[in-house]
């Protein structure tokens, strides 16, 4: 099993460009999450999907949209990138939402917005 | 105020040392507690869950004090391979926050030979 995979690994964008970060998991998990990690800030939840067909906002959703394409895939879209969105983005999945279930993380996407 | 507060360190200790990390959380409704480990430029990985009675996994011991809203991680006989950032994580599994984890900023540990 590959676990959680993310593409791309690195990306450089200019302000105003758009892009979609892809995430897929092969563990048959119901719940998926998008986080961003900035120096000194820790991981912050952007959006999550408790189950296929549902999505909810996290702590920092502004400037992002998500799509739960199917049970395996959860994408994050930046419609008009801003320098403040320079960050490392992690996708994660868990068997079920909450109940102390472990979240498994992908390797991350490093995004630089100029 | 952040939901989860940690001392960012860095902690620099020699091999074989014992080191302890502390963490406090603000929401008394918190229900699940974890320590994750993150190596440099890698993804976070679960190190261990933290149970009310305290729990041990080899050289690692986690403690929870609900009254003080305090979590700790003790590493005994430190190894070079323990060098990483340790993330304190809390979940409030109710209603709209179901499934959401709240991460501390992490405590950086370097173990030197």
- pLDDT tens-place string over residues B45-58: 999 999 888 899 99
Residue A14, min C-alpha distance to chain B (Å):
23
Per-residue pLDDT at A44 exceeds 60: yes
Place B98 in a pLDDT band, splitting at 50, 70 and 90.
Answer: low
Residue from A37, A42, A50 to probe the interface with B (highest B Cβ count within 10 Å): A42
Report the share of chain B in percent with pLDDT over 70: 93
- Rounded to an integer, the average pLDDT of B10-26 is 95
To the nearest whole percent, how much of chain A has pLDDT over 90? 77
Q: In sequence order, what DSSP letters do the residues of chain B get, joined into one string? A: --SEEE----EEEETT--EEEEEEES-TT--EEEEEEE-TTS-EEEEEEE-TT-EEETTEEEEEETTTTEEEEEE-S--GGG-EEEEEEEE--SGGGTT-EEE---EEEEEE-
With bands split at pLDDT 50, 70 and 90, how would you rate the model's confidence at B8?
A: confident
Q: What is the pLDDT averaged over residues A51-79?
A: 94
| B69 pLDDT above the threshold of 60 | yes
Output B83 or B7, whichever has higher pLDDT. B83
pLDDT of B93 above 80: no
What is the distance in angstroms between the Cα of B99 and the nearest Cα belonging to chain A? 3
Q: What's chain B's average pLDDT?
A: 90
For residue B26, which residues of chain A lie inside 8 Å, CB to CB?
none
Q: What is the mean pLDDT of residues A86-99?
A: 85
Q: Assess whether pLDDT exceeds 90 at residue A51.
A: no
Scan residues 43-102 of B and list those with Cβ closer than 8 Å to A: 43-46, 49, 87, 91, 93, 96, 98-101
pLDDT number for residue B102: 87
Determine whether the interchain pair B106/A42 forms a contact, defined as Cβ–Cβ distance below 8 Å. yes
d(CA A87, CA A113): 9
Which residues of chain A make contact with B34, given a CB cutoff of 8 A?
100, 102
Average pLDDT, chain A: 92
Size of interface A-B (CB pairs under 8 A): 61
**pLDDT confidence bin for B35, thresholds 50/70/90:** very high
Calculate how close chain A gets to B11, using CA atoms only, in Å.
Answer: 16
pLDDT confidence of residue A110 = 97
Minimum distance, in Å, between the CA of residue A77 and any CA atom of chain B: 20
pLDDT value at position B76?
98
Residue A100 sits at the chain B interface (C-beta within 8 Å)? yes
């Amino acid at each position: 099993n590959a676990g959680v995979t993310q593409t791309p690994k690195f990306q450089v964008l200019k302000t105003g460009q758009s892009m979609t970060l892809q995430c897929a998991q092969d563990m048959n998990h119901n719940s998926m999450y998008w986080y961003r990690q900035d120096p000194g800030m820790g991981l912050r939840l952007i959006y999550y999907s408790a189950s296929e067909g549902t999505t909810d906002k996290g702590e920092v959703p502004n400037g992002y949209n998500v799509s739960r394409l199917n049970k395996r895939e959860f994408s994050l879209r930046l419609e008009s990138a801003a320098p403040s969105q320079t960050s490392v983005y992690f996708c994660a999945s868990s068997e079920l939402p909450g109940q102390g279930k472990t979240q498994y993380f992908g390797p991350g996407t490093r995004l630089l917005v100029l | 105020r952040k939901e989860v507060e940690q001392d960012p360190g860095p902690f620099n200790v020699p091999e074989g040392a014992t080191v302890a990390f502390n963490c406090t959380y603000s929401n008394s409704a918190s229900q699940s507690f974890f320590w994750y480990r993150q190596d440099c430029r890698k993804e976070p990985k679960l190190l261990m869950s933290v149970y009310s009675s305290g729990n041990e996994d080899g050289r690692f011991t986690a403690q929870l004090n609900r009254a003080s809203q305090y979590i700790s991680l003790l590493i005994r006989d430190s190894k070079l391979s323990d060098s990483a950032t340790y993330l304190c994580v809390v979940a409030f599994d109710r209603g709209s926050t179901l499934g959401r984890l709240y991460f501390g900023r992490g405590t950086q540990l370097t173990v030197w030979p």
